[in-house]
Homo-oligomer: A and B are copies of this chain.
């Protein structure tokens, strides 16, 4: 057991008998930013959290739906695997919209409704990571995912990402160096968080080959897949290798409906699903019932297609606004990724001495929030990078936010001078 000092005065318990894994509970810079921003009272343009804009959330539709669908059954315990009415509505939506053969998307016996995509990650790592196991993740990555792996005492290894996604060619070298294969490869192949890049088809096939050779599980985190606004579709890993027990698919309603619902799903081999259900019983019994009933009704009313079309149009416009603003205000001081969907631009300052963690308090003072690059690396790399969410603000607010960011960088580091740092 590890111990921490306690400020409490109980004479016989100077230290708490914490589990060994408590040392690995590193906390989330991303989530903490929600609490941190709540303490500021002046106007801040929020490019930080990966959340849809308030005007993109169907809250009035849900208020109407709540009044009609809430019944006592919406408030009692439900099945751990999720409400049948929601699972059916979801499968109908996926099949009608994407016109993909049934086996490529989940069938009912492959689906468990989860409390957000985050619980999908918790379930996957809880099932497949023993203490000391290797987990390969992307670098940069969504560190709430890698932190969950670490909460089960994984040893996380960062694999570089370029414009084609995870550099899967280096995986065998990483295995040779470690002397063992990863238990889990954690990837966000489509509109990656935070880099915005999409893994190429060739790399997806190489990754599948790697996983099969080493009997490693691929945890495919796909929160943004429905939000492509340009370019051609690339099949998900789940679609490329249907019915593959090594692919643990994690999906969510957070990005194309609303994150506050905390509803997602996992799409897994039926044998794995039984274990997922057992594991979820030890987590929260079942997912919130009133929200499951609301989303089922929203899908059954056919609200999703119009809504997603609207999101795609709006997010493309917002991405273009942000790219134009960055070009106008920062020119060749920065380079940025150019995503075909999702929420994020990943911006890197050419001047490697720019430290985006040091810049953040200046930016907040100026009235703009972002997430610093090191928040996306378990090792704290990417000190001169930052993540900007273009989805959360309309174009005029994006311009205002970028103007404030320009002002912040000028205050933080006057042009042609590094004297302040």
Residues of A within 8 A of B (CB): 1, 4, 6-8, 10-13, 15-22, 25-28, 31-32, 34-35, 38, 49, 51-52, 54-55, 57-60, 62-64, 66-67, 70-81, 84, 115-116, 118-119, 121-122, 126-131, 133, 144, 147-148, 151-152, 183, 212-213, 215-217, 243-246, 258-262, 269-272, 275, 277-279, 281-291, 294
Known: A215-B13, A283-B122, A284-B119. A77 touches B62 (CB 8 A): no
Q: Is the CB of B75 within 8 A of A19?
A: no
- In contact, A75 and B63 (Cβ under 8 angstroms): no
| CB of A14, distance to nearest CB on chain B (Å) | 9
Shortest Cβ distance from residue A178 to the other chain B in the assembled complex, whole angstroms: 15
What residue of chain B has the Cβ atom nearest to residue A54's Cβ?
Answer: B72
**Cβ of A147: which chain B residues have Cβ within 8 Å of it?**
281-282
> Could you name 29 residue pairs across A and B whose Cβ atoms are closer than 8 Å?
A8-B269, A10-B244, A12-B212, A16-B271, A17-B216, A19-B128, A28-B278, A31-B281, A32-B80, A34-B79, A34-B80, A35-B80, A38-B84, A54-B76, A57-B75, A62-B75, A64-B67, A66-B70, A75-B258, A76-B259, A115-B283, A118-B285, A122-B282, A131-B131, A147-B281, A148-B283, A151-B282, A261-B289, A262-B287
B271 and A6 contacting across the interface, CB-CB below 8 Å = yes
With A59-B75, A75-B62, A80-B31 as known contacts, state yes or no: A262 contacts B282, CB within 8 Å: no
Give min CB distance, A284 to chain B, whole Å.
5
Given pairs A13-B215, A13-B245, A34-B286, 17 additional interface contacts (CB within 8 A): A8-B243, A8-B245, A18-B128, A18-B275, A20-B130, A22-B128, A28-B282, A31-B286, A35-B79, A55-B72, A66-B67, A76-B259, A115-B115, A115-B283, A144-B281, A147-B281, A260-B288
